[in-house]
Structure 1
Amino acid sequence: MRLTAAMAAGQRTYLDHNATSPLRPEVAEVMLRALQLPGNASSVHTEGRAARAEMETARERVARLIGARTKNVIFTSGGTEAANLVLTPGFRRLGQAGATRLLLGAAEHPCVLNGHRFRSDAVEIIPVNGNGIVDLAWLEAHLQRTGDERVLVSIQLANNETGVLQPVAEAARLVHEHGGLIHTDAVQAAGKIPVDMAALGVDVLTLSAHKIGGPKGIGAVVLASDQFEIADRLIRGGGQEKGFRAGTENVAAIAGFGAAAEIALVNLEQEAGRLRALRAEAEVELRRIAPDTVVVGAQAERLPNTFAFAIPGLKAETALIAFDLAGVALSSGSACSSGKVKRSHVLDAMGVEPAVAEGVLRVSLGWSTTKEDVIRFAEACERVVGTLYKRKASAA
């Protein structure tokens, strides 16, 4: 197949928004203005109050995105720090003891699986089914066996690799019936689907700005109420963020987070519909080009912007390079592995056959994705698959 004009001109198609969504121009403008503010947000003079005002506006906007109270939003350096901060025996209701046991979904992000602060012998993994959905029956049976032991549970709202949504509200009900606490990693879900913290029933939720067109390096912990505390805080020093997270605040990044949250909320319904239609078109094209394509988690409810697929005979590492050379940026899963393509714990937990798992690629769409991007993806896919079949024919 001949190169299209877009490929020949070196035009790139970026389809890796779950790793990082490009910074929205409107957000960049807000950040530039905030960068020019001279004051420290902890200072009481006029300049300090101006910086503080930017932060509090952003805090209110982030809270609105997930239906939370403004005062319960705590800014961090990102989703990883946010998860590390709350997944500890020191996270507890005021006046109560902390959890002694941690239960984690098998398909959680590495910042949850590896970033918690519990002893290894106090951690257990909640299995998932073939679609990547946590086993609520296992969870309920396990909670019934814990007796008086306090448990903290962490179940993501949406998987970063497959887009599969989790039954967090149902899990929260079970956890609370047995006196436990529950956290959800909403990094991939917020801004892509409606998120209402009260409706979910979780005690704490974590976020990251760069998944919704905000800046990298800023995230948040959001508490369900002010009746929670974290006894063993990660960054200690001054009293910033109500003492939960010390250090001079990154006002520009926080302002950018707030701007991105506001844009995402205003456009949520329309954007979800647009991306769902583009995703459906891309999947149709994939099956036309390679009818034996496997879409991971296709039978489950997924984020509107995400699909993970494998074409038998095509290995992820080879395919990523081929797509990149064709001008299309994809991923093989989480972008948190030092740029390496390695076996996915998510696919292993789902029981995906190794021959399929080694070829799974992820397409994640976002605010900058257009119909033309989907067309260029299909053209690149046709070229990559055509090359694969030619090689097979030559080897036969």
Structure 2
Amino acid sequence: MSDLIPALIATDPAHRHQWLLANRPADFQPVYWWLSLIESAVAGVRFDALGLPRNRPRADVSLAAAVIGWALEDGYPVQYAVRELVHLRSLAPAIALPAILQPDEVARRALDAFRFSRADAVAAAARLRALPVTDDDFDQPGDSPPERTRRFEELRGTDEYRDHQQLIAIEQMLDTLRPTAGDITDPALAAELAAWLDILPGLDRTPDAVRVAWAQLDDLVALLDAGRPTGDLVQRLRTPAAAYLQWKLQELLARYAAAGDTAARDQIAHVLAACGPAALPALLRSLVHDPETLRPTVRDLFERSPGEAMTQLKVCLADADPGLRRVGVWGLSVLNLRQSDEVVDLLVAATTDTDAAVRHLAAEALRTRPPDHGPR
């Protein structure tokens, strides 16, 4: 889309908007088309502000501001436009700013786009925080693309989704406007923006269940690090909310494994398993150095999602680390799909592995496979 900017510059200013719309490609979603044009126009202003040499015509402040204004007229999201307007103003000389870039104008445009009053926004955020976290909140391994699309379309039709998206837009605009609040000249407008900024923390939509889970995890880590009994904390953490903690749990799993603290590692692994099959890559890697105590936890996940388990085990078998390949062979030997031709083929291939332990494990798995597998 950057190729349109030089042509737009060469067009009579009185006809630029009309020319631009006439040259809009029919197969391009309008929001992305406007986004690319705005980024190209603003980049030209930024390059000039940096004093970079020109090798082609660049948009000036007025043209870049006009492009943003035309985009808004065409339904471009206000929160994106506000961000670009504030950025463009930061690049422009303080004198003779186009009206659309004036701080009062940008703030008024943003506040007018808020679909909630302050009280309603805070109440909507509280309702969203109170929603329970369930497994249905996450994509499930094995879901087909049409199934995921169907679930997303159902979600988009809910009041909760619409409220969530609107609160995100409000947060984005308030964060963008915060540095410019002192430049607003209209006292009433400045007071309104200040009031919104005051309630910004109350717009957080993090589920209460997730806040509780984070606090419980902090308590668990403190007890593990002190070598003290953890009571029922592990079991209390094994809820769908654990999925929000997955990245931290994986980090802790690696830390305790590296420190050789198997007791702490196993407790963290048990919590991590509550994240479902998405936790398999980290758990399988943990089996490399001390497989025995973690195997029951991993086998539970195999039973919950044998298809995803097969996918991850094939990744293990292809890894350069022979320890991970051994884990892959072990996994095939206990997977409920072990009678399938694919499992047998993978085990047969593993009998030619460069690692003797892998070859031995594969041969043993083939020797002990269920007799009702039938002829090959």
Q: TM-score range by the shorter chain?
A: under 0.3
Greater helix proportion: 2
Greater strand proportion: 1
Which one has a bigger Cα radius of gyration? 2
Relative CO higher for 1 or 2, CA cutoff 8 Å, sep ≥ 6?
1
TM-score after normalising by structure 2: 0.24
